[in-house]
């Protein structure tokens, strides 16, 4: 049920705390007034704000404070065993930058090169497959804003390669701008779409924390790609 109204990500402290040091990122193409404002005055035609929320996402948001507290403690304990493996401020900044970069390039024909080193190879392949089935109604323009809401899950275990690793899933509240295509019922309209995203990142842990460096963070799972507008979404604005 839906309600509608590179290399480095975060480098280990032993090397540097700079995020995305070796990549150039394209900044957001536009910015929006406070959430209370419905229209963006700097657009030639007003942008309609659409808020998309599934019931399951509302539940996730309600239980997030407790989950964030519990998993933050778990990550703090992990940092005691693997020094430098977790830094909340760096992760917060890094996942926001990752969201902007990946969202901008997820359906580019050259996405393998643009996302390699930041996104897991199998996820890049999924994104490339998703491009073929992308909506024919709306064209992505930019990420207007994105904020990490909190840690939804975190776990440390052995991966499929036999290496110890940590996985962290974050909830992100983002606003994306789309242009509706000319052959659609609301010709030429702009939409600012507010959605909650669930992204999982993974970091490999060293066998010997005292002698080996930590791995870089990689995006390994996302729950949403491009937005597709439901029929009649702008009827109330006509």
Residue with the bigger pLDDT between 129 and 175: it is 175
How far from the centroid of its chain's Cα atoms is residue 100's Cα?
A: 7
- Note the pLDDT of residue 14: 43
**Spatial distance between the Cα atoms of 128 and 110, rounded to a whole number of angstroms:** 9
Question: By mean pLDDT, which of 30-44, 68-82, 92-106, 184-198 is the weakest?
Answer: 30-44
- Note the pLDDT of residue 13: 42
- Note the pLDDT of residue 183: 53
Judged against a pLDDT cut of 90, whether residue 210 lies above it is answered with no
- What is the biggest distance separating any 2 CA atoms in the chain, rounded to whole angstroms? 64
Judged against a pLDDT cut of 80, whether residue 233 lies above it is answered with no
Judged against a pLDDT cut of 80, whether residue 143 lies above it is answered with yes
Residue with the bigger pLDDT between 189 and 15: it is 189
Identify the band that residue 113 occupies on the pLDDT scale cut at 50, 70 and 90: confident
Domains and CATH numbers, the chain: 2-20+44-228 (3.10.450)
Identify the band that residue 3 occupies on the pLDDT scale cut at 50, 70 and 90: low
- Note the pLDDT of residue 176: 97
Query: Tens of pLDDT along 28-38?
Result: 333 333 333 33
Judged against a pLDDT cut of 70, whether residue 43 lies above it is answered with no
What's the predicted TM-score (pTM) here? Answer: 0.77
- Note the pLDDT of residue 238: 43
Task: Provide φ and ψ at 215, rounded to 5°.
Answer: -80, 170
**Spatial distance between the Cα atoms of 47 and 38, rounded to a whole number of angstroms:** 8
């Amino acid at each position: 049920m839906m309600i509608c109204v590179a290399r480095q990500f975060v480098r280990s402290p032993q090397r540097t705390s700079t995020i995305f040091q070796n990549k150039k990122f394209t900044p957001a193409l536009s910015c929006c007034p406070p959430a209370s404002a419905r229209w963006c005055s700097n657009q030639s035609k007003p942008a309609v704000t659409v808020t998309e929320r599934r019931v399951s996402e509302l539940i996730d948001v309600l239980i997030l404070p407790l989950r964030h507290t519990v998993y933050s403690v778990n990550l703090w304990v992990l940092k005691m065993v693997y020094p430098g493996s977790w830094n909340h401020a760096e992760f917060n900044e890094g996942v926001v930058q990752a969201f902007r970069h990946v969202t901008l390039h997820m359906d580019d024909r050259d996405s393998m090169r643009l996302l390699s080193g930041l996104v897991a190879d199998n996820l890049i392949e999924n994104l490339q497959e998703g491009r073929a089935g992308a909506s024919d109604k709306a064209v992505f323009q930019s990420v207007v804003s994105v904020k990490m809401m909190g840690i939804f899950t975190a776990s440390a275990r052995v991966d499929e390669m036999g290496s110890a690793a940590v996985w962290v899933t974050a909830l992100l509240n983002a606003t994306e701008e789309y242009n509706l295509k000319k052959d659609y019922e609301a010709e030429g309209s702009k939409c600012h779409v507010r959605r909650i995203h669930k992204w999982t990142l993974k970091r490999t842990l060293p066998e010997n924390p005292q002698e080996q460096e930590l791995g870089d963070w990689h995006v390994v799972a996302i729950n949403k790609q491009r937005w597709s507008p439901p029929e009649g979404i702008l009827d109330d604005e006509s």
